[in-house]
Amino acid sequence: MTEHFRHVVRGSGPGLLLAHGGGGSVEANFGPILGDLARTHTVVGPDYPGSGATPRSETPLDLDEVADELVAIAVGAGLERFAVLGYSLGTAVAVRAATRHPGRVTGLILTSGFARLDNRIRLAVDIWASLLHDDPRLLAKFLTLAGTGTRHLESLSPADLATAVDELAAFIPAGSPEQVGLVAQVDTRAELAAITVPALVVATTLDGLASPALSRELAAGLPHAELVEIEAGHNIGGEAPGAWLAAIEKFLGGL
């Protein structure tokens, strides 16, 4: 695995570490709210191997190693303690960071997340992995279909829909195979009960990839979790950034 992930550091104040989703990046997953978060926090955002400017890994990714690397980057950026905002796959990275580095993590914000794979995610991962090699544009269509809330999807004109698919097909990171492979390994259920820091779990109620039931299950497994439900598909940053930001800021303000 790549020894060091490229990352951004923005803002000042209490620490906030970002953990992005599989097949995503810091900019793709957090871009709409990144500037607002940096107004009140020192935000550290690493890109996984094969995303952003981080070179692709030559070996499969390991959840422990990814979590350790993100924590090391935050510490290297001057943060002794920090909250972790995880999105999708990043929720498992955030949980593992809290498990392995309990003295560093002050709180968890887990959005569109899961502690295990259900059959929906299992099927999505299989399709995702196959289409990465065979037909990236069809993959973009699949991800747009599964990851977009119905209201937002139906609000797009045919031209806007075609543009969205084209942009997603052009974006797909080189490290997607390894990152999707990491998604397939996620099972953090056994460690949830030992996490003692406050947590905010954000369920995306129109999510066709990570169902809101998985977020509810994640919140139920954490001893000090609050559950907030937001009407959006998996792409909450594109569909409901204001509601997402408001929930995050309220939680961070109480730490």
Q: Which fold has domain 7-119+174-253?
A: Rossmann fold (3.40.50)
**4-48 pLDDT, tens per residue?**
899 999 999 999 999 999 999 999 999 999 999 999 999 999 999
User: Looking at residue 3, what is its pLDDT?
Assistant: 53
Give the pLDDT band (50/70/90) at residue 237. very high
User: Looking at residue 248, what is its pLDDT?
Assistant: 98
Whole-number Å distance between alpha carbons of 86 and 65:
16
**113-149 pLDDT, tens per residue?**
999 999 999 999 999 999 998 899 999 999 999 999 9
Task: Map out the domains of the chain as residue ranges.
Answer: 7-119+174-253
What average pLDDT does range 185-207 have in this prediction? 98
What average pLDDT does range 214-238 have in this prediction? 98
Whole-number Å distance between alpha carbons of 205 and 228:
10
User: Considering the chain, what is the average pLDDT of its residues?
Assistant: 96
User: Looking at residue 2, what is its pLDDT?
Assistant: 42
% pLDDT > 90, the chain: 98
Give the pLDDT band (50/70/90) at residue 1. very low
Amino acid in the structure at residue 180: V
Give, in order, the Cα–Cα distances in Å from 81 to each of 27, 74, 103: 23, 9, 7
